[in-house]
Amino acid sequence: MTSVQHAQLLLSAEKLSKQYGSFFALRDVSLNLHAGEFVAVMGENGAGKSTLMKILAGMELATSGVVRVLADETLRVAKGRDLESAVAIVPQEIDLAEDRSIAQNIYMGNEPGHRWFPSARKLNVQAAELLARIGSPLDARQRVGDLDSASKQMVLIARALARESQIVIFDEPTANLSPRESESLFEVIQSLQSDGVGILYVSHRIPEVMRLSDRIEVLRDGSHSGSWPTSSTDEGQVVNSMVGRELDLLTRLEPYSQRGTSKLSIKDLRIDGIGPINLDVYEGQVVGIAGLPDSGREELLRGIYGAEGEVSGSIGVNGAEIVKADIREAVQAGVVYLPGERRAAGIFPTMSVKSNISSLVASRYTRFGLMRSSKLAAVAEEYAKAVNVRAASLDLPITSLSGGNQQKALIARLLATEPQVMLLDEPTRGVDVGAKSEVYSVISELTRKGMAVLLSSSDLPELLGQCHQILVMFRGEIVATLEASQTTEEEIMAYATMGHAIKETA
Q: What is the per-residue pLDDT across 97-130, written as a single tens digit (0 to 9) for each?
A: 889 999 999 988 777 766 666 778 889 999 999 8
Q: Is the pLDDT of residue 453 over 90?
A: yes
DSSP 352: B
* HSE toward the beta carbon, residue 206, CA cutoff 13 A: 21
* 361 contacts 417 by C-beta, under 8 angstroms: yes
Burial status of residue 250 (CB atoms within 10 A of its CB: 0-12, 13-18, 19 or more):
exposed
Share of the chain above pLDDT 90, in %: 30
| Helix %, strand %, coil % of the chain (to 5) | 35, 25, 35
Report the C-alpha gap between 218 and 202 in whole angstroms: 10
CA distances from 301 to 15, 73, 417 (A): 46, 53, 18
- Give ∠ CA 429-311-307 in degrees, rounded to 5: 40
Q: Which domains does the chain possess? A: 9-243 (3.40.50.300), 249-334+419-506 (3.40.50.300), 346-413 (no CATH)
At a CB cut-off of 8 Å and minimum separation 6, what does 19 contact? 25, 63
What does the buried/exposed string (b/e) look like for 463-477 if buried means 16 or more CB atoms within 10 Å of the residue's CB? bbbbbbbbbbbbebe
- In total, the chain counts a number of residues equal to 506
Q: What pLDDT sits at residue 341?
A: 74
* 458 contacts 426 by C-beta, under 8 angstroms: yes
Q: What pLDDT sits at residue 369?
A: 66
Report the C-alpha gap between 55 and 404 in whole angstroms: 20
Q: Rounded to two decimals, what is the model's pTM? A: 0.61
Share of the chain above pLDDT 70, in %: 88
Confidence class of residue 287 from pLDDT cuts 50, 70 and 90?
very high
Q: Taking residues 310-335, what's their average pLDDT?
A: 83
Q: What is the per-residue pLDDT across 470-497, written as a single tens digit (0 to 9) for each?
A: 999 988 999 999 999 899 888 888 888 7
* HSE toward the beta carbon, residue 364, CA cutoff 13 A: 12
Confidence class of residue 169 from pLDDT cuts 50, 70 and 90?
very high
Q: Taking residues 42-65, what's their average pLDDT?
A: 86
Q: What is the per-residue pLDDT across 126-153, written as a single tens digit (0 to 9) for each?
A: 999 989 888 888 999 999 988 877 788 8
Q: Taking residues 285-307, what's their average pLDDT?
A: 89
Q: Alpha helices, DSSP H only, in 281-372?
A: 297-305, 327-332, 342-345, 353-358
Q: Is 239 helix (H, G, I), strand (E, B) or coil?
A: helix
Q: Is 103 helix (H, G, I), strand (E, B) or coil?
A: helix
Task: Between 382 and 204, name the one with better pLDDT.
Answer: 382
